Each structure stands twice: as structure tokens, then as C-alpha cells.
Structure 1
Amino acid sequence: MFKGVSLLFLLLLGLTAQAETWPGEQWPTTPAAPGPALQALETYAFPPRDDASRQGIRTDALLVIRDGQLIYERYAGPTKADTPHLTWSISKSLMATVLGVAYGEGRFKLEDPAAKFYSPLARHPKLTLADLLHWASGLDWQEDYEYAPLKSSVVAMLYTRGHQDMARFTAGHDAYAPPGQAFRYSSGDSNLLAAALKTIVGPARYADYPWTALFEPLGIRHAVWETDTTGTFVASSYAYLTARDLARIGLLMARDGRWGDRQLLPADWVAFNRQPFAHYQAHQDEAVPGGHWWLNRAADGAAQPWPDAPPDTFAALGHWGQAMYVIPSERLVIVRYGDDRDGSYRHNELLKLARQAFAGTVQP
């Protein structure tokens, strides 16, 4: 009896392992069947648009991974499967993932003072790495874009007086709140993390670290990440990946930091990424902040931001409609690149239509 049960257990284990699919050089592909739900998704994501006026939604890429297999992919305009696309603020979540590898190597702790790794922050001695990952540095930062450039800290950092040394520019800001006590979305916080990483892993490893630590183990071949003039990665904005390569990051996160038989990110790091910031107040942003990822979680008595998606949905989001959604309970990763200039794109609408097209056929 014991032997029979053991044999059955091993058989079931083997079937489970066989069912778990990972991409090699290419993604395993099982195209989803066309139908009205898929047509509705495409009608929303790829509508006709007058590019001269830049009004309406413009999707450059839409890709869906289910159970580790590529089931849907469509591109528009100049973007193709091998085109590294500007991710804008998805770069922030990428930096958090790179930091997770260093965390797993025992190179820092979340409660470490940020000044330990970046000396210009010495005037903010209580600021920790966890605070930066929560966008809760307490630094007086204005995250305004092209609609309010004159008062924008991020425009000054990226394009004018701060662009040569973005972290030092950010560190020079005064505080408006104690570290860790208030959420204020800040591209500057992300670039402080990029500067801290240089000390965390050492200058000799830094320039190649995103590739050796993360991209190469995942099979990402087309990544580009710009730096400022000090050689520090612009973690706020300037990473470029193909949609297929970005989906590898999503699958890694969907499977709690595991890639094949390797635990690339510690499970507690992924749990931190997906834990809501305790002092976030409802409606401060389009989703609830975690550890440099965005969460579909209820906060401060308010409903979850994307009501037509499961509460375990989390995302990396960027300017002008860049998005990667991870839905672990439905084993889905959705990558969407775009160039939306008028604010008409809605995360919830795309998630609703994508789930109607793809989530219903997920095997239990």
C-alpha cells in the first residue's frame, strides 16, 4: 500500500512538473481561439486613431502569457516582437527586481539607512531603502509632467538642471514629512535606489549587474538601460525591453521569484513587493503602492482600484500607457505598450476584456 501511494505521489508530481512551462530562447506558443471576447479586446486596444492629433488610445504591443505559454500577441506601427520599447516608469519595477537579486545575495537589508549606500543622503539619516521602495522618502518632490513643467521636479531631473546626476539632484531636496510616514510618488526615489545599488554591488559589477543578475538568467536578450553622466541607471524611466522580454519578468513575479529550478528572487522579497504600503491613503494614485509595484488592493476603506480584476493582480506601470499586469490566481501575464496622450486608456477596461478573452479557459 505504501509503495503504491508513493508511486502515485511521484506520478502526480511528475505530471505537475511537466505541466509547468517555462520559456527557452523562444516562448512556447499555444494561440488562443478567436471569438467575440477577443474581438472586443482588440476593438478596445487597437482602435483607429488620428496620429496627427494624438487623441485616443494607441497600443503598440499587446501580449498575453497563460501558464507560461504565449497565447496572444499583436503589434502595431513600428513596434515588432524584437523591438525594445521604452517602458518609462515600468523601469522602477525593473529596478526593484534587480535589487531583489542583490537582496537574495545578502548585500543589504530593507531597514538599512539609504545613506549607508549613497552618502549624499547623509542629511536624511533616517531614510531607509524600504522607504524609497515605498515612494515614501519624505523628500519634497513634485511628480508633474508635460502639463506642468515649470514646477516639476521630474522634468528638471530628467531634462534640465538635474539630468547629469539625477540621484544627487534628488538628494538635495528638503523633507516635507518624516521618512516612511507618507506616500508621494517620486521618480527621484527610484533614482536614489539606482545610485545605492552601485555601492551595494560594487562599482566593478554595477554596469553589468542588471544583465548578469536578472536579464541573462531569464533569457532576456534585447534590454537597453540608459544611464546619466555618472553612469547611474535611470531607474525612473529609461529601460527598454521587448514585450516578450518584459513578460519574462512578469512570469518570474507570478511564480514568486522562481525561474525553473532556481529561486532567483527570495520569496520574502516578492511578498514585500506585493504588500501595500501601510500609510497609503485611498485615491492618492491610480493603484495602491507596494514595494515599487502597483497593487489592486482595497485601501483606507476604498474599493480596489481595478474592480474587474482579482485582488491579487499587481502591475508595473509607465507613462503614456505602458503596463504589465500579473494575475497569479489566473496564471496570466499581460504586457501592453502604447503611446496614449489624452488619458483615455483605462487599466480596468483592458483587464476586464482580457480576462473575458483569456481567463475563462484557464485550467484548474
Structure 2
Amino acid sequence: MPLALLRRTALAGCLLVAGPLAAETWPSEDWISQPAAASPAIQALDDYAFPARDDVARAGVRSDALVVVRDGVIVYERYAGPTTAQTPHLTWSISKSLFASVLGVAFGEGRFKLDDAVAKHYPPFAAHPDVKMGHLLNWASGLDWQEDYEYAPLKSSVVAMLYTRGRGDMAAFTAEHSLGAVPGTRFRYSSGDSNVLGASLKSMVGEQAYAGYPWTALFDPLGIRSAVWERDASGTFVASSYAYMTARDLGRVGLLMQRDGRWGDRQVLPAAWVAFNRTPFANYLPNPDKPHDAVPGGQWWLNAALEGVPKPWPDVPDSAFAALGHWGQALYVLPAQKLVVVRYADDRDGSYSHNELLKRVQAAFGDQP
């Protein structure tokens, strides 16, 4: 969706309140839970998500939690110790998608536009005047950023940002990077881009409101009570990595997104913002070394079919999208089947497959569209 059209649609519609819809189920203080009866399909899901595992070698799939919501009702829920239904689990990079939803509220309030220069809201970015807010949201700032993790730490921008010389002020550390491409022309996944978004919100809402804004804007309206979000030494939310919440609470965000930003009779996120989150970055080129990666949208990941490229998750509808994090954290939304799936995990060996889990979830709980 063109950015100008998104802005016109969102700002025209963000104050509209949806009327009550019949036969919709929403969680109040707690979810309605109606566990599905045992079946071979559910057993097959259990076998994949919670197999016997070599924890000494950290080999194989390890799920800490798996929750399936169908049309607003929990139909499956299982945990593996020490994680329980009350555990606020580290979401890792699901935090990026969560913060995008926080920003969606600010966007609906008219606090920024996608084609605003980042420097308008975060002055230390003045050295990069051509980088727009929309570029950051698409991980397309053009910065020369290396998103390598624990297996290649020496040249890793993200390891330096989170743990060494950048940890005191992560956005400022990111801003010090030089450009490696024209902004908006290249996708390069970057936790730095996400943390600059975290810093940009501060000037939009002011220091005093900033500390509580994720709660007042998003978590409180959805009834999320477990959320914890770490900030760096400069007071900026670590939007890339450090949000925690229970699986049930993360499912509330999934239901919000499944229903196009609406929570009951309140339009929490402009529907056009959700549409932007679900629109593939126009200049995305798939990585031939990672053919099964999901397609980047607006800080969310899409199962989009691109010309000449197979869907990332072939057994899952094109409309599916997800928030994904390190070591197997996932929030999947399958709108066509009214399914939301939350998975917390500690996968270390690369054996976990999004497609395989979702294929089994669909066999157990969702009719093929």
C-alpha cells in the first residue's frame, strides 16, 4: 500500500469506532478456554512441539509454551517447566512487532507520518537526513548493519549494541553507523532500526508519558497485565528484544491483529496500519541462502507469495503473518482460519520448522480455507 494512501486512510479512519459484532468472543480478565477433545491430529501436534529432547546437547525442538486460539477462544494450551501460564517469557524479536503496534497507536493519534525524516523525531539521526520512519519500519534504513548473533559475534552490530559498547544508548550507537545503501532500496534486518524507533517515540509523546506509553496505548486496553519491557541506560525501550509477557497475554496481541486492530468496540490500531504491517516491503529480494525465510512487512513477517518465489511456509495460507524471535519465539496469525498461535521456545539447532508446526495446528484446529 503506498505510504500516502496509508496515511490518508489511517488518519481519516483512526477515530472511527467499530459497532458491536454478533457472536464474537473476546477475553476479559481471562480467556474463555474450551480445550478440544483428544484426537490423532492433536497428538501429532504434541509429538512435534513437545518431543523428548537432549537438553544436555540442546538438540531438537524445545517448546516452553504453546497456545492456540480459535475465534477468540483457547482450544489448546500446554507448557513445559519451568514455564507456566503465569510466566512472563522473554519474547526476543517479537518485541519488534509489539513495538510496531505501540507505534500504530501513536500513528493513529497523528504523532508521526511514515515519510517523516527520522531526525525529526530523533535528532541524533541528523547525519542520515534521507532515512524516513517508514524505512525503519521496513528494516530498510540503508545502514551498514550486521545482524549476526552468538555464532559470529566479532563483527556483529547487534551483539555490540545489546551487550558491549552500545548497550548504554542503543539508538545512539545505531545512529553512528554509516550508510551502506540508499535508504528504502534494500532490506537488511536490523535490531538497530527497531531501537531507533524506540527512541523516536520518546520525543513524540514526551519523557513523562513515554515510560508508560506501551501500557496506556496498547497493553491496558487489551487487558495485558504481565508485560515487562526493559529500557537501556538512556531510558529508551529496547524495542528490538526485551519485552516479556505470558503466552496468554501475547495471544491478545495476536487476536487484535487477526481482527484488523479492533478490540471489542474500540479500534485500537487503525486498520490501515495493520494493512501496512501486512504489506511486503516493495524492494525485498529473497535471500537465496535462506529460501524459507518469511517476507518482511512493517516489523512483521509475512507468508506472502512473491513473483517467481515460493511461499515461505507452503502448507499455510498466503494471508498468514507472524511476529518472530530468536530461538523459536513466535506469534502466528492465520486470519483465514481465525487462528492465533503463540509459541515460546528454546530452539538452538535449527531443526524447528514454522511450516511443520502450523501444518499440524491446522490439521488439529482449522479447516483449510
- TM-score class, shorter: over 0.9
TM-score (norm: length of structure 1): 0.94
Q: Which of the two has higher C-alpha Rg?
A: 1
Residue deviations 1:166-203 (CA, integer Å, cap 9, x gap): 00000000000011100000000000000001011111
The aligned counterpart of 1:67 is 71
Equivalent in the alignment of 1:298:
305
Q: Which amino acid aligns with 2:354?
A: H
What's the CA shift for 1:33?
1.6
Is 1:32–2:39 an aligned residue pair? no
> CA shift at 1:279, angstroms?
0.4
Gaps of at least 5 residues in structure 2 are: 1-19
Q: Which residue of 1 aligns with 2:226?
A: 222
Q: Which amino acid aligns with 1:342?
A: D
Mapped partners of 1:29, 1:79: distance in 2 = 19
Letter in 2 for 1:207: A
* Deviation, structure 1 residue 204: 1.2
Q: Does 1:120 align with 2:156?
A: no
Partner of 1:56: 60
1:57-95 deviation digits (Å, cap 9, x = unpaired): 110000000010011000001100010000000000000
Count of residue correspondences: 347
Please give the per-residue CA displacement for 1:320-358, whole angstroms capped at 9, x wherever unaligned. Answer: 000010001100000000000111100000010100010
Q: Specify the alignment match of 1:243 in structure 2.
A: 247
**1:164 aligned to 168, 177, 181, which one?**
168
Deviations 1:222-262 (CA, angstroms, capped at 9, x unpaired): 00000000110001100001000000000000000000000
Quote the Cα distance in structure 2 between the aligned partners of 1:36 and 1:49: 21
Q: Could you say which residue in structure 2 is the equivalent of 1:358?
A: 365
Taking the aligned partners of 1:273 and 1:200, their CA distance within structure 2 comes to 20
| Correspondence 1:315 to 2:319 | no
Measure, in 2, the Cα distance between the counterparts of 1:257 and 1:283.
31
Contact map agreement 1:282 1:301 (CA 8 A) in 2: no
Query: Pairwise mapping of residues 80-91 of structure 1 onto structure 2 (< 5 A)?
Result: 80-91=84-95
Whole-angstrom distance in 1 between the partners of 2:75 and 2:64: 17
- Name the SS for the 2:21 alignment partner: helix
2:270 aligned with 1:263: no
> Any residues of structure 2 matched to 1:135-284 within 5 Å, and which?
135-283=139-287
Asked whether the 8 Å contact 1:323–1:336 carries over to 2, the reply is yes
The code of the aligned residue for 1:178 comes to: V
> Greater CA deviation, 295-304 or 252-261?
295-304
CA distance in 1, matches of 2:77, 2:63: 12
Deviation at 1:34, TM superposition (A): 1.1
3-state SS of 1:127 partner: coil
The answer to whether the 8 Å contact 1:127/1:137 transfers is yes
Shift of residue 31, structure 1, vs aligned partner = 1.2
Structure 1 residues without counterparts, runs of 5 or longer: 1-15
Are residue 327 (structure 1) and residue 334 (structure 2) matched? yes
2:112 corresponding residue in structure 1: 108
How far 1:300 sits from its partner (Å)? 4.4
Partner of 2:235, secondary structure, is coil
Q: What letter matches 1:189 in structure 2?
A: D
Residue 17 of structure 1, CA deviation? 3.0
Q: Which residue of 2 aligns with 1:6?
A: none
What is the rounded CA distance, in whole Å, between the counterparts of 2:265 and 2:299 in structure 1? 26
Q: In structure 1, what is the Cα distance between the partners aligned to 2:325 and 2:127?
A: 30
Q: State the AA in 1 paired with 2:96.
A: K
Instruction: Name the CA distance, whole Å, in 2 between partners of 1:228 and 1:217.
Output: 26
**SS in structure 2 of the partner of residue 39 of structure 1:** helix
Separation (CA, whole Å) in 2 of partners of 1:46 and 1:177: 43
Give the CA RMSD over aligned residues: 1.2
For residues 22 and 106 of structure 2, the distance between their equivalents in structure 1, rounded to whole angstroms, comes to 30
SS of aligned partner of 2:78: strand
Aligned partner of 2:155: which letter? K
* Alpha-carbon distance in structure 2 between the residues aligned to 1:176 and 1:18: 52
How far the C-alpha of 1:18 sits from its partner, in A, is 3.6
Shift of 1:283: 3.1
Q: Determine if contact 1:101/1:264 at 8 Å carries over to the other structure.
A: yes
